[in-house]
Amino acid sequence: MSPRSEVLNRRMREDSRARILRTALRLFAKHGYDRTSIAMIAAAAGISQGLLYNYFAGKKGLLRAIFEESMHDVEESFALAEAAPFPADRLATLVRGAFTILRRNQNFWRLSYGLRMQPGVLAGLGKRTSEWTAAIRGTLARYLADAGVDEPELEAAVLFALIDGVSQHYVLEPSTYPLDAVADRIVERFTPVATPMLDNPSPDE
């Protein structure tokens, strides 16, 4: 097989995998995870059930793959933050980067939020969800501590809830939601105000 054919075959496999994932996400969000069958997903994706199983190990495999897709976006936003030149810049870079990625992938996130809280989904993901949220809160707490924010663990929980809540509101009404203005306000809220220090304070001060 020529190298060109190998590249083409790999691209076709990637396209097929992405199509199956998009189809599964749409059907899970529309009909519910528990009520969506592998046969429904295969038919909607235009492939046989046997071929689908070549890509994913059933519904749980599809669910975990969708979860990993969402984690790719989260990891991308944290990578942007880690590249910030100073610790104090990380939070602003993270918040604005996360919302830029959200805007780019808003269709995925709208369906993902519709899927996330279904009982069968939470059971299917098991400990992954709690491990994911704990890791994100831990990283946020580190950023906040490095920036000099008091009670970084508590503030990290608040910040995480804000980002998640804003994201949900945005994907429900992307044409009217003031995402950039809200991002600016979050950055203001979590950026400590520097207190001027006098080199030689007078005894009366």
Q: Domain for residue 47, yes or no?
A: no
Structural domain includes residue 96: yes
Task: Report pLDDT for 3.
Answer: 61
- Interval 19-53: pLDDT, tens: 999 999 999 988 989 899 999 999 999 999 999 99
Cα–Cα distances (Å) from 169 to 79, 173, 195, in that order, read: 24, 7, 35
DSSP state of 86: S
Instruction: Give 92-145 pLDDT, tens digit per residue.
Output: 999 999 999 999 999 889 888 888 878 778 777 878 888 889 999 999 999 999
If we measure between CA atoms, which residue out of 46, 101, 49 comes closest to residue 72? 101
Phi-psi region of 201 (alpha: psi -120 to 50; beta: other; left: phi over 0): beta
Higher pLDDT, 201 or 142: 142
Percent of the chain topping pLDDT 90: 55
For residues 72, 118, 113, 66, the Cα torsion angle rounded to the nearest 10 degrees is 30
Determine if residue 100 is left, alpha or beta; phi over 0 gives left, psi from -120 to 50 gives alpha, anything else beta.
Answer: alpha
Asked if the structure places residue 150 within a domain, the reply is: yes
CB 57, CB 116: distance < 8 Å:
no
User: For residue 42, which amino acid is it?
Assistant: A
> What pLDDT is attached to residue 156?
96
Q: Does residue 126 lie within any of the structural domains?
A: yes
Whether 111 is covered by a domain: the verdict is yes
Q: Is residue 18 part of a domain?
A: no
| Residue 114, in any domain of the structure | yes
Q: How many domains does the chain have?
A: 1
pTM, entire model: 0.78
Question: What local confidence, expressed as pLDDT, does residue 2 receive?
Answer: 59
Distance CA 107, CA 42 (A): 21
What CATH number did the domain enclosing 170 receive? 1.10.357.10
For 143, the domain range is 58-189
145-189 confidence digits (pLDDT tens): 998 889 999 999 999 999 999 999 999 999 999 999 999 999 999
